Amino acid sequence: MYQLFRSLAYIHSLGICHRDIKPQNLLLDPETGVLKLCDFGSAKLLIKGEPNVSYICSRYYRAPELIFGATDYTTMIDVWSAGCVLAELLLGQPIFPGDSGVDQLVEIIKVLGTPTKEQIREMNRNYTEFKFPQIKAHPWQKVFRARTPPEAIDLVSRLLEYTPSARTTPLQACAHAFFDDLREPGARLPNGRDLPPLFNFTEQELSIQPHLNSILIPPHARGASVGSSPDGSSSSSSKGGAIGVASPPDMSTSSMTGAEASSSSAATA
């Protein structure tokens, strides 16, 4: 998940919205732990004032503003989708398994409760039908298993917000306490291998939310040259290989599914 959020931070800083974040579009090398974000067939450069289609993104991962028919949405629809992926990894099944577009909203309301008029306006200011049954939010602690790390639950709750602007940003997600274990010296993959490069941030990445840089780059990683790849070469290539955006694949990878991941591997991925 860390690598997914880092990938999103990078493409969002360029104004690009992926618009189809789901487990099937996350390619994970099980040996190295390297994750690549793939399938940019639905991606778009979002331009303010230019309308976009609302019928986009796979149903289980579709942000509520899309269900409400918004055409002026932001890259925060990707953040919602990423929150659904994280929740699925923790649950072992989709958190919002709607059978249709309308049923998808019903599944969301079962967990988040009925959105307020203000929240609906934030999702789509042109939506004027507010006739919804009043349902209280389900406590997040009861959505997940008792052994689920509280940091994981907290991160999910910050990602799955009705109001798009209230959702945590991808880099804020990377800096979240849920990923603190990855910043520990000597942290390794579950198979004992070294972690993939997680802190080789480019100048582009470090300019997104500079106040987070002291958290994003742990002390033991600050000796390496910032903005460089582990081999010393520049990592600011437009291909985004070091960042986690898939170039034309030439490596054997496997799709990541929620049922196959534990909370520890969810953090690494």
- Give the residue numbers marked as catalytic: 20
N-to-C CA span, the chain: 4
Q: What is d(CA 76, CA 59) in angstroms, rounded to the nearest whole number? A: 16
User: DSSP string covering 21-46, please?
Assistant: -SGGGEEE-TTT--EEE---TT-EE-
**CA separation, residue 60 to residues 19, 23, 227 (Å):** 13, 11, 36
Q: Is the CB of residue 203 less than 8 Å from the CB of residue 236?
A: yes
In this structure, are residues 178 and 153 in contact, taking their beta carbons and an 8 Å threshold?
no
Question: Helix count (H) and strand count (E) of the chain?
Answer: 11, 5
H or E, element range at 255: strand 254-255
Which structure tokens are listed for 115? Answer: 């959105």
